[in-house]
Amino acid sequence: MVTCDMFNVLHDIMLTVPKNETKEQIAQIIANGYRARTIPKGFSMIIETLANAVKNAPTTNSKIRALQEFKILIWRAANFETFIGRFQNIAALLVEEVFKEPMIDILKNALQILRQMGNYGPEDLQSQLKKDLVPERLIHIRDQPNSDGELKQLIDQLLRCLNAIRV
């Protein structure tokens, strides 16, 4: 299949490119290509690269963009199973980010990713989220005067998700 060959070539190029910015762009292209399909096991660098972009974003705008790019990876539940360790690491990072109460766009993107992980992730990932996401702190964030309707809805959905997780 031509598409798979193209992604394999892009992956090989990504392994040899020294610049992180170029790696991130290639990782985003590959992730977009696999949006509706499971990312192959050998492509773990895609997840690692996009997670590192979130972790190392130098500015607020670049963090928002990195989170939006990372969201591409969460729409296929099989990716959570295949790359459980990588997703556990990014989940821990996102939980920290949420409780820093960052800019609202960062918060919304992080909550969307965490909600998807909680709803469709494997049991280990769900257990981690249930343990790390303190409902009282989420409620505190939800009840802030600057919280808009979308943020409140995201937090309520995440709280329902956490309540449904049986550990």
The band of 13, judged by pLDDT with boundaries at 50, 70 and 90, is: confident
Whole-structure pTM value: 0.88
Full domain range(s) for residue 60: 2-164
pLDDT in tens, 111-124: 999 999 999 999 99
Whole-number average pLDDT of the chain? 88
pLDDT confidence tier of residue 4, bands split at 50, 70 and 90: low
Residue 128 predicted with pLDDT over 60: yes
Number of domains in the chain: 1
- Kindly report, residue by residue over 36-75, the tens digit of the pLDDT: 788 888 888 889 989 999 999 999 999 999 999 999 888 8
Q: Alpha carbon of 120 to those of 16, 105, 134, 148: distances in Å?
A: 33, 23, 19, 26
Largest CA distance in the chain: 52
pLDDT at site 29: 80
Mean pLDDT confidence for 86-93: 95
| Residue 33's CATH number | 1.25.10.10
Backbone angles phi, psi at 59, to 5 degrees: -130, 165
Mean pLDDT for 7-13 is 72
